[in-house]
Each structure stands twice: as structure tokens, then as C-alpha cells.
Amino acid sequence: MKTKYAIHIFWSEEDEGFVAVCDEFPGLSAFGESREEALSEAQIALDAIIETYRESGLTIPEPQSMLLAA
């Protein structure tokens, strides 16, 4: 599923790998040994949580937009 949510990826010393999170879904995180793997796992998790929200009748958060200052 294509989504317009930003996924942030960072290195975790504790986990010794990359962690991906999505701000609109605070409990969502995914792990990977590479950035690419973390991103792929996060997209799978994001698709699943959106489907869960839909099935449960929960309001799906709007993607946040980022305003850039000139």
C-alpha cells in the first residue's frame, strides 16, 4: 500500500541495528540490520497498523506535513 507517512530511521547502539519509526503511530517501530531493511519492515508494519485501524473503526491519523523555512 502506498502511504504518505514519513518514516524516520536511526542507528540504535542498544539494538545494534537500525530502527524505523513513524511519528503518527507512536507504537510503531521496525528493526533492520541495514537502513533498507528497517524501511522495508516499517512499511510492512505501517500497512498492518493502518489496516487494523480501518478494521477497528479507529480514525487514521493524517500524515504530518513539514514546512521548510526559506
Predicted confidence (pLDDT) per residue in 5-62, tens digit: 999 999 999 999 999 999 999 999 999 999 999 999 999 999 999 999 999 999 999 9
Q: Three cell numbers at 12?
A: 540504535
Output the pTM of the full model. Answer: 0.83
54 DSSP assignment: H
User: Is 46:7 a contact under the CB 8 Å cutoff?
Assistant: yes
Which sequence spans correspond to the domains of the chain? 8-56
The predicted structure's pLDDT at residue 69? 53
Cα–Cα distance for residue pair 21/6, rounded to 1 Å: 9
Q: Three cell numbers at 42?
A: 516499517
The predicted structure's pLDDT at residue 35? 98
